Structure 1
Amino acid sequence: MSSFTIVPIIALFCYLFLLISFLAAKKDAAIYAFMELLLTMVIWASGSLFMRLAYWPSEGFWFHVSLTGLLMIPLVFYRFLKRFLRVEKSYHIHFWTAAIILMLLVNYKYSIFVQPPEVLSLGNGSNAYVYHLRWQVVIPFLVEGGALFACSRMVYENSRENKFAGKSLRPVWLGIGALALGQIGIALPVFRGFPIDICSGIVMAVCVYYALYQKRLFRLDLLVSKANCFVAAFVISTLIFYSFIPNYNAALEKYFGFKETQLTMVAALSMVLAAVLIYFIIKAALDTVFEKDEITQSRCIGEFSTGVSYLTNVGEILGQLMQTIEKAVPAEAVLIFLKDEAGDYVLTQGNQKTEEISCVIPKDEKVFGLLRESGGCILSREHRNTPEYKKFMAEIRRKMPKYKIECIAGIKDGEQYLGLIFLTGKKNGEKYTAGDLNFFESISSVAFIAIQNSRLYEKAYQEARRDYLTGAANRKYFYEVLEQCCESQTYAFGSIIMIDVDDFKLYNQLYGTGAGDDALKRIAEIIQAEVGKKGMVARYSGKVFTVMLPGTTEEEAKAVADRISEQVREMNSTSGENAMKILTVSCGIALGVCPIHDFHDLIGHADTAVYYAKKAGKNRTVIYKEGNGGERPSQMGYQPGVYSDYAPTIYALTAAIDAKDHYTFSHSENVAYYARELARAYGMNEEGLKIIYEAGLLHDIGKIGIEESVLNKPGRLTPEEYEKVKSHVELSIGIIRHLPSLDYVIPAVIGHHERYDGKGYPRGIKGEEIPLMARILCVADSFDAMVTVRSYKPGIEVEDALSNLEEESGRQFDPRLVPVFVRCVRDGIIEIR
């Protein structure tokens, strides 16, 4: 082998070894740029090697290949720095690129700047390669220096904004300095014939590799991968046999008498065995070197990932995380902060006593910016001079004076931080390394996923026990807790309060289901606020809530129920004098003595008490007593003949309006008749017919509050007067709502001036949103108004009125009701009154 040929071989091997190690790494822009730099150095080293081996086509050709790789290094290095620092600006690098390419082309043609080395025969079959440098070599140095100046300027300007990145580039500049010294060393007599430039390239590659490792862009255990160890073993065994095969073959032939074919087979087998042996030696050596660091930490991460995959409790996951960190990184103290509902980070767990420490890190703390900038981990020694970190650490020392924080790692996934890990110094006094930070970054990602999954599980578990609308416990969970409480000996007695919202169906009809849902939410909040931690609140059914109050007396339970009832009444008391429906609740209380063998009896008693509260007029509280009533009917509702009980009240009201406006009285009777007969023809049952008849009698009762001068005005009404007339709907509801026994007619009364196309009043609802009884009243009211003589208009013929109804079908009137009414009138089923 030619003299010093081993140097470019070693360099080429190092570059290829590093390149292969990155093939299995997770790559980003900086990693790809470093691989490009390695490829450029491979061209440089391989050109030098093949030149020294005098390979085809010529030594001069491989010299120019080597020179091309060398002069392209600053350009590729610039690309690496740009991606390493994430810079967009170009810094005139295009000019230096053109200059280097032009210089290479000129030198390839004329060899003006750098001449191929002189080949000196050493007499023993080896050659020496000596460079004779002339003054023109200054030009390549100047051009290369200009490109490096662009690199330096880029680093300087960006390091002012990113001090962490500036520090991480120190090994890179050390490598560039070594490379520059190596090029200068060629001209020194002491290195005459020795490829000092190739040696400096090895130093540079290792320095850049270390810079990437320091920034945690890859894991150092990639070096000990099987592929890398195999490549190293193969190359080393090849070099050994290439050097000693002649002597080896001669020994085999001399001592064993092997022939040529046998020599070839034995030599090949020996090379394979040597490669295997070298592979195991390299693997064992590297495993020994890295065992305490990344290999052990990788195993810990794997064990942690497997262990937490079966855990659903956050506390258990944090305990496992603490044990894993203590095993892999022997820190004196480990503190874990978790994100709370407000977004702040609260000290949750530590391997030393943390109960007495109350430390909260605000969510807007600037330390998170440093964490993101440094990849999710902060070392105090690297950031102690930054203003943000100094201020943050001063606050931490004030809150936790006994802890000297050396490292902060984020429990994160991408840019989302779920928690923070604080570590003090190591027990053995060593400093945290880049490998430790890689470990924290990896294990925090696993912990993030485990904690997120745990919280999702807990959320799903809680949602399965909670009512989706009000947030109170659901019926199933209420039963579970009630059964446990009733079977225990913890309390001598307890109370169950059942709270039923009065006439909630009517409230929904008046205001819509959206308003009804909001009302249930507010009622649930009132109950929960009143009960607090003294008991448990559940949504038992659609409009019924239950409250369990262990250890309370009858008087205490009634006081709670009365306060809830009062707050519910006040909840919508601000709706105004003409509020269409104010919500109230009926409460039933049942008391039991633990243990109770069948808790359903206790619920049944509370249910019975609610029934009697409803029967007594609603909006009250009843306590269940044995023998205070019979069984609850199987169905609550309006019983046959119930409306006849209310007839005196209805006719008293109509008589009052008759005293003021006789037309309104007779008009109400006519509308009640027409509406009832239309409802009968449409197929409504007897109960509905009675409701709509009484709604017809009361639909204009609000006109009692409007001046007679407006009601009986002979001419056209002014806009102000018309608004007064329109207010009779709200006035009607304002009167009826004070009569709980008659509030079932409110949906029909409030909607009798709504239009099917949505242009009516007072709510402007349309189509099927208008209650059916209101749509029936609308047809009956409009028909009677058209055929009746009024002070401001004459009556029209029945046929004309029917034609008007047909014309407005689908606009003002329900298109399904109009044909029924018109047919009944024309067939004589409905008489004209």
Structure 2
Amino acid sequence: MPTIVIPAFALFFYMIMFVTLIDVRKNRTVGVFMTMLLCFILWTGGSYLMRSMMWPGVQFWCNISIGGMFAIPSLYYVFISDFVGYKGYAKKSIFFFITILILILNFSNGLFESIEVQYSSLGNPEFIFVGRWTLVIPVILVFWVAAAIFKLIYVSIKNKEHNIKDYAPIIVGVASLTLGTTLSSIPAIGKFPIDTLSGIVNAYCLFYILYKRRLFNFTFAITRGTTYFLTTVLVFIIGINFVDPAEKLIKQLYPQLSNYTTLIIVGLLALITVIVFRTCKSSMNALFSRKEKQQTNSLKEYSSQITKTISLVDIANLLIQVVQQNTESEKVYLFLSNDEEGNFDCLYSTNILDNKHILIDKDSPIIRWLQVKKNSVLIKDFKHSVWYKSLWEQEKIQIDKFGIECLVPVYSSDELIGIVALGGNQSSVQYSQDTLMFLDFVASISAVAIKNAHLYELIYQKASLDHLTGILNREFFFSKMEEVFELNKEDSLSLILFNLDDFSLYNELYGRLEGDATLRGVADILKSICKKGAICSRYSAKEFALLLPNTDLKTAKEKAKLISNQISKGFDSTKDQWEKTLTVSVGICTYPTASGNIKELIDHTEMAVFKAKQNGKNQIVTYTSDTENTESKEPRVRGQVYAQYASTVYALTAAIDVKDSYTCNHSANVSEYAVKLAKEKGLSEEHIELIKEAGLLHDIGKIGIPEDILNKVSSLTDEEYEVMKKHVENSISIIRHLPSLKYVIPAVLGHHERWDGKGYPRRIKKEEIPIAARCLCIADSYDAMTTKRSYRDPLPKEVALMEIEKGAGTQFDPELAKLFVNMMRN
């Protein structure tokens, strides 16, 4: 009975493994193993059919069985070579040609002289093989292959690529197969199918190696087709071995049913088929389906979600979440490669409060071990390897301290870009092979997303940085400033602008290359401050910005003084008198004490810089309503800039007066009203002076408007109104030729803009309009309504104020409109 049952069981076992692997994604190693399985099927199938005395005869099935058995050793060597990563082809070729020779001898009856069949006392057939001297060739091949395999394993262990534990199943399988094949060639022992039994042990060891190395997912390989095949094979085996005894039993016990024997047996086989199929199906579902569905659904959902984001933070959170849900691990850490040094920093974890001060050096044995393994590994296995002995003691303590139990490498194009570390697994199964394979799938999906996120951040960083200094450019600084402002609305926020004095002269003295080096040096000074939470930017060609969250005015002034001193000392040259010392004019404004929104914060800081420039340079000016707000390093020179051009301005207004006497008086009135409104708002002295000068100059462009339009006694047509609107652009064209008065241009340009964005010439709205222009807009409209015009009489002052109130929020800044109305009524 064993001579039949063992080959039948072996055949069944091999066919199940082969069918299981059909649906698996193939690689070279799995392909070689499946070829070996075909040889095992020929070996055991031929042995089974030979011992069952099947047609076309014992000799035919014996040749099939022997041929399959002796084709296995060379395939075995190829399989192990792939497993250990050995690329040599010479020995593989030799083994291949010897195998061809053996197969030729086998099918030409050159290995055995005869095969005798004898029957035992129970009537069971026994087979006696009489071998030729040529049988020594396959025996030598078997031992040669076994020795070559053990040598490959020894070299791999010696080179620290694997440890002895990794090869234990291979060693057991090779020893079993070698021993079984050798013993089966001995006539006294060859009667028993010991070679087939050893083949089963060997095949199981290899299957286990593949599964443990996660070259396929056994759970995912179990399909409906596998269940059908399993049922068919079981029913076939049952039919061959029990149909004849069943027929004899029926005829003996129920002779009256002799004519229906075939029908009864068919019915019984059908019933057995149903029972076997349902049993197999329920067993498979109980073993695999539930967990398989959970993991499959998790992978699908994770893959879908991760493709919708390019944020590294979102990807990390999704990764940690899917790992934690499917492994029951309490702690999950994500290490990502540091591009600068190549080390792996712990950046994300399950709990934001977790201690993340963990760093894995790029040269650590852990990294080299993961590069050898290429897939998920357990720390308990790592501790049995030679790599663990190479760790520093501090690294061993760190692994134990953070409770790391499993490491999952994240590879992108053979480059290790990240590591997922797991710990605190509460599952009774803990990290099974299916779980480790699931983690490898997650890492594979994550690799592409992490790489894309890194590329996006790199591109974003390049686009956001100034190419010369390496700090934020102006555009991205404004974007970042808005984010910081939203986060600090309930706290203080200081903005500092550093404007290098006479930098054009500095470039002429030292050259452009030295000038560029100086700009980079200033940026480096600012970056040293940014490490503490500040944000720095190159604001313009020779100007830098520093944004300080949660910083009051006093602290901002201290930092500004420190930085300006470092700039002066760092670029100070005293070799010759002609050499220029670099100085800086600094402006500071703080929210909410001196500005109400982000636009005012920027405008007021720029105004403070302007005041520092006009008052003698090389000083720090803070934007406040106080008069003493300047810290100078040189004698202070009061910049009454407007006075230098007063005669020119008066000459221009006089020329306008000849054309339109209204305009001259109107400009003086607007200037007065706007100055009073600016004081009511609490603007700085310098800002008030700017508004005063802008008020006097805001309509200077009317000198270019035809008199018939200026003095028209009726309403203007659409065409005439378009001509009249040109006076704003005319004013800018005149003022731009007075360089020291160009700072009034934004106020003059915007005095006809509306709060709702329907004004002209730029159609900007709300805080986009400079506050000086918003003051002029109200003052201009009020004076226009309360003075006599060529086409109408003046309106009562109260009516004009009511119009101002009516236009608040549409034409006028609602806050300034309310201040103006209250001021005029009081």
Q: Go from structure 1 to structure 2 and tell me whether the alpha carbon gap of 1:162 and 1:218 turns closer, same or farther (over 3 Å shift).
A: farther
- Structure 2, gaps ≥5 residues long: 624-683, 696-739, 741-826
Q: Provide the rounded CA distance (Å) in 1 between the counterparts of 2:533 and 2:303.
A: 41
Deviation at 1:328, TM superposition (A): 3.6
Q: Provide the rounded CA distance (Å) in 2 between the counterparts of 1:584 and 1:21.
A: 79
Residue equivalent to 2:369: 370
Residue equivalent to 2:471: 471
Q: Go from structure 1 to structure 2 and tell me whether the alpha carbon gap of 1:68 and 1:472 turns closer, same or farther (over 3 Å shift).
A: same
Q: Provide the rounded CA distance (Å) in 1 between the counterparts of 2:474 and 2:498.
A: 14
Residue equivalent to 2:327: 329
Structure-to-structure mapping, 1:403-418, within 5 angstroms: 405-413=404-412, 415-418=414-417
Q: Provide the rounded CA distance (Å) in 1 between the counterparts of 2:550 and 2:131.
A: 103
Residue equivalent to 1:44: 43
Q: Provide the rounded CA distance (Å) in 1 between the counterparts of 2:103 and 2:362.
A: 56
Q: Go from structure 1 to structure 2 and tell me whether the alpha carbon gap of 1:5 and 1:478 turns closer, same or farther (over 3 Å shift).
A: same
Say which of 224, 227, 244 aligns to 1:226.
Answer: 224
Matched, 1:18 2:17: yes
Secondary structure of 1:117's aligned partner: strand
Q: Provide the rounded CA distance (Å) in 1 between the counterparts of 2:304 and 2:142.
A: 53
Root mean square deviation, CA, Å: 5.1
Q: Provide the rounded CA distance (Å) in 2 between the counterparts of 1:181 and 1:207.
A: 15
* Residue type at the aligned position of 2:217: R
Q: Provide the rounded CA distance (Å) in 1 between the counterparts of 2:413 and 2:201.
A: 34
Structure-to-structure mapping, 1:603-752, within 5 angstroms: 603-615=602-614, 619-622=618-621, 625-626=684-685, 629-630=689-690
Deviation at 1:73, TM superposition (A): 1.7
Secondary structure of 1:39's aligned partner: helix
Say which of 166, 169, 173 aligns to 1:168.
Answer: 166
Residue equivalent to 2:490: 490
Q: Provide the rounded CA distance (Å) in 2 between the counterparts of 1:605 and 1:459.
A: 34
Secondary structure of 1:169's aligned partner: helix
Q: Provide the rounded CA distance (Å) in 1 between the counterparts of 2:402 and 2:548.
A: 46
Structure-to-structure mapping, 1:46-445, within 5 angstroms: 46-49=45-48, 51=50, 59-89=58-88, 98-99=97-98, 101-106=100-105, 108-109=107-108, 111=110, 113-120=111-118, 128-133=125-130, 136=133, 137=135, 140-162=138-160, 164=162, 166-183=164-181, 186=184, 195-240=193-238, 278-290=276-288, 297=295, 300-306=298-304, 308-309=306-307, 318=316, 320-330=318-328, 335-340=333-338, 342-348=341-347, 355=354, 358-392=357-391, 394-399=393-398, 402=401, 405-413=404-412, 415-423=414-422, 427=426, 432-445=431-444
Q: Provide the rounded CA distance (Å) in 2 between the counterparts of 1:529 and 1:352.
A: 30
Are the aligned partners of 1:224 and 1:283 in contact in 2 as well (CA < 8 Å)?
A: no
Query: Aligned pairs, how many?
Result: 630
Secondary structure of 2:690's aligned partner: coil
Q: Go from structure 1 to structure 2 and tell me whether the alpha carbon gap of 1:74 and 1:254 turns closer, same or farther (over 3 Å shift).
A: same
Percent identity over the alignment?
A: 26
Q: Provide the rounded CA distance (Å) in 1 between the counterparts of 2:312 and 2:552.
A: 39
Residue equivalent to 2:778: none
Q: Provide the rounded CA distance (Å) in 1 between the counterparts of 2:275 and 2:210.
A: 31
Secondary structure of 1:164's aligned partner: coil
Deviation at 1:389, TM superposition (A): 0.4
Secondary structure of 2:203's aligned partner: helix
Are the aligned partners of 2:67 and 2:106 in contact in 1 as well (CA < 8 Å)?
A: no
Q: Provide the rounded CA distance (Å) in 2 between the counterparts of 1:574 and 1:271.
A: 105
Farther-moved stretch of structure 1 (576-585 vs 213-222)? 576-585
Secondary structure of 1:630's aligned partner: helix
Deviation at 1:397, TM superposition (A): 4.5
Q: Go from structure 1 to structure 2 and tell me whether the alpha carbon gap of 1:522 and 1:174 turns closer, same or farther (over 3 Å shift).
A: same
Deviation at 1:529, TM superposition (A): 3.6
Matched, 1:523 2:505: no
Q: Provide the rounded CA distance (Å) in 2 between the counterparts of 1:128 and 1:495.
A: 100
Secondary structure of 1:471's aligned partner: coil
CA deviation string 1:494-519 (max 9, x = no partner): 65433334566677799887776554
Are the aligned partners of 2:46 and 2:62 in contact in 1 as well (CA < 8 Å)?
A: yes
Q: Provide the rounded CA distance (Å) in 1 between the counterparts of 2:379 and 2:520.
A: 50
Deviation at 1:34, TM superposition (A): 1.6
Deviation at 1:371, TM superposition (A): 1.7
Q: Go from structure 1 to structure 2 and tell me whether the alpha carbon gap of 1:256 and 1:461 turns closer, same or farther (over 3 Å shift).
A: farther
Q: Provide the rounded CA distance (Å) in 2 between the counterparts of 1:208 and 1:567.
A: 70
CA deviation string 1:770-821 (max 9, x = no partner): xxxxxxxxxxxxxxxxxxxxxxxxxxxxxxxxxxxxxxxxxxxxxxxxxxxx
* Residue type at the aligned position of 2:128: Y
Deviation at 1:548, TM superposition (A): 3.9
Deviation at 1:236, TM superposition (A): 3.3
Q: Go from structure 1 to structure 2 and tell me whether the alpha carbon gap of 1:435 and 1:590 turns closer, same or farther (over 3 Å shift).
A: closer
Are the aligned partners of 1:483 and 1:599 in contact in 2 as well (CA < 8 Å)?
A: no
Q: Go from structure 1 to structure 2 and tell me whether the alpha carbon gap of 1:485 and 1:348 turns closer, same or farther (over 3 Å shift).
A: closer
Secondary structure of 1:131's aligned partner: strand
Q: Provide the rounded CA distance (Å) in 1 between the counterparts of 2:422 and 2:314.
A: 20
* Residue type at the aligned position of 2:112: V
CA deviation string 1:632-679 (max 9, x = no partner): 889xxxxxxxxxxxxxxxxxxxxxxxxxxxxxxxxxxxxxxxxxxxxx
Deviation at 1:235, TM superposition (A): 3.2
* Residue type at the aligned position of 1:203: V
Given the two structures, how large is their TM-score scaled by the length of structure 2?
0.62
Q: Go from structure 1 to structure 2 and tell me whether the alpha carbon gap of 1:575 and 1:342 turns closer, same or farther (over 3 Å shift).
A: farther
CA deviation string 1:705-757 (max 9, x = no partner): xxxxxxxxxxxxxxxxxxxxxxxxxxxxxxxxxxxx9xxxxxxxxxxxxxxxx
Are the aligned partners of 1:475 and 1:541 in contact in 2 as well (CA < 8 Å)?
A: no
Residue equivalent to 1:820: none
Q: Provide the rounded CA distance (Å) in 2 between the counterparts of 1:602 and 1:404.
A: 50
Residue equivalent to 1:691: none
Deviation at 1:226, TM superposition (A): 3.1
Deviation at 1:19, TM superposition (A): 2.7
Are the aligned partners of 1:33 and 1:83 in contact in 2 as well (CA < 8 Å)?
A: no
Deviation at 1:606, TM superposition (A): 3.3
Deviation at 1:423, TM superposition (A): 4.4
Deviation at 1:206, TM superposition (A): 1.6
Are the aligned partners of 2:327 and 2:430 in contact in 1 as well (CA < 8 Å)?
A: no
Residue equivalent to 1:806: none
Secondary structure of 1:410's aligned partner: strand
Residue equivalent to 1:717: none
CA deviation string 1:177-229 (max 9, x = no partner): 33344445547899775544333323321221112222222222244133333
Q: Provide the rounded CA distance (Å) in 1 between the counterparts of 2:109 and 2:489.
A: 104
Q: Provide the rounded CA distance (Å) in 1 between the counterparts of 2:462 and 2:335.
A: 26
Deviation at 1:372, TM superposition (A): 1.7
Deviation at 1:130, TM superposition (A): 0.6
